Amino acid sequence: MSADLRPAWAEVSKSALAGNYSRLSRLAAPAGVMAVVKADAYGHGAVATAGVLFEAGCRRFAVALVDEGVELRRAGIDGEILVLSEVPPETLEVARSEGISVTVYTPAAAKLAAAQPDDLLVHLKLDTGMYRVGARLEELAEIAEHLRGRELQGFWSHFAVADEESPESREFTSLQLCRFEDGLARLAKLGVTPKERHIANTAGLLYHPSSHYDRVRVGLGIYGYHPGSDRSGVQLVPALSLVSKVAFVKEVEEGERPSYGRRRPLTTRSKVATVPIGYADGVPRALFTGGGEVLIAGRRHPLAGMVTMDQLVIDLGPDSDVQPGDEVVLIGASGEERIGADEWAQRTGTITWEVLCGISKRIPRRLVEECRG
């Protein structure tokens, strides 16, 4: 959707993306950084984001689906593109022809990958305790036998609780690292030496230096947010701002209850603004019940009623001079105030990742040089 056809859009800052990548790369060195750009780059726009990161020096990208990799490749994104889950057999040839690396973690998938020409790059994933996908330690010998005779590009796994600070979480992350080392040792006994080892996500990079190995896979950090509490001292800049404009302003009497469900009465005669963005665009209904606010001219204003599909209503108070056409910042900075995707997550009982990925395709993305504020 064109950014010129509706008064609601997302701005994605090139300087924030490039700056975050640069800071995280310095922290990871000598390990390389693989930028995770699956799910449309966490809602930031995969092609545009990957283009900015490529210009900043990134040469490794991770996606969830072959289709996501093909989209990047056909947009001119060079370098390695890795699919993080096993791909359907019928897409192996597409992946190979597009120069997209694949992940295997079952003997059947390893056998199919081994039957492909040698230019198909293969990574082997070990399940060290996430219990989502990945090979068991006991399966490594059979998988390695299928892959014998071809180079193994990577051996990797994924942390489950590396972002959490409790003693139990730290202990489990250490256990995952031990299992990963066990997997490497077993492969070595089988005569298999992967070119690259990788297990660290953003949390692993920030909080567990021993997990860096040869590369780190960074998602949330690239987009400017810390997983869990910020205890690393690394400054990250949120790259995305979600913006709209006031469409309509009216005075509403004290005690009236705007929007569906008539959930909350106005405590005084107030001006109420209508803003043309809603839950179909990724503004969750729970933001109202969680006490969500927006920024207009550097001031916070609460939602006056339940978020609807295409619109929300804002309580401006009795003396506001806000007019139709004034800018409304839902995520981002205005004056000295800032609302982050992490604030939305806290108010709605979810995580920052879900907030960012939830901003719908209906919202046009604009690449801008600098962040707001």
Q: Is residue 232 part of a domain?
A: no
CATH number at residue 311: 2.40.37.10
Q: Are residues 213 and 244 in the same domain?
A: no
CA distances to 216, 230, 234, 330, 349 from 26, in Å? 12, 18, 11, 32, 33
**pLDDT lower than 50: segments of the chain:** 1
Beta strands (DSSP E) in the chain are 8-13, 32-36, 60-63, 80-83, 100-104, 122-125, 154-156, 196-198, 215-218, 240-245, 248-252, 270-275, 293-296, 299-302, 312-317, 327-334, 337-339, 365-368
pLDDT in tens, 218-274: 999 999 999 988 788 899 999 999 999 999 999 999 999 999 999 999 999 999 999
Q: Are residues 177 and 313 in the same domain?
A: no
d(CA 216, CA 200): 5
Q: Are residues 110 and 259 in the same domain?
A: no
pLDDT of residue 112: 96
38 assigned to active site: yes
Q: Which domain holds residue 54?
A: 14-223
Catalytic residue among 14, 21, 38, 271: 38
Catalytic residue among 189, 195, 250, 260: 260
pLDDT of residue 49: 98
Residues 340, 331: contact at Cβ < 8 Å? yes
Q: Is residue 5 part of a domain?
A: no
pLDDT of residue 2: 52
β-bridge mates for residue 329, sequence order: 243, 295
Q: Is residue 153 part of a domain?
A: yes
pLDDT in tens, 96-134: 999 999 999 999 999 999 999 999 999 999 999 999 999
- Give the domain-ending residue among 167, 195, 223: 223
Q: Are residues 215 and 274 in the same domain?
A: no
CATH number at residue 36: 3.20.20.10
d(CA 12, CA 243): 11
pLDDT of residue 220: 98
pLDDT of residue 373: 57
Q: Is residue 177 part of a domain?
A: yes
pLDDT of residue 236: 96
CA distances to 79, 205, 328, 338, 355 from 298, in Å? 42, 34, 10, 9, 22
Q: What percent of the chain has pLDDT over 90?
A: 95
Q: Are residues 197 and 249 in the same domain?
A: no
Q: Are residues 139 and 264 in the same domain?
A: no
Q: Are residues 53 and 182 in the same domain?
A: yes
Q: Are residues 219 and 244 in the same domain?
A: no
pLDDT of residue 232: 80
260 assigned to active site: yes
Question: In total, how many domains does the chain have?
Answer: 2
pLDDT of residue 233: 87
| DSSP, residue by residue, 295-323 | EETTEEEEB-S---SS-EEEEEETT----
pLDDT of residue 372: 72
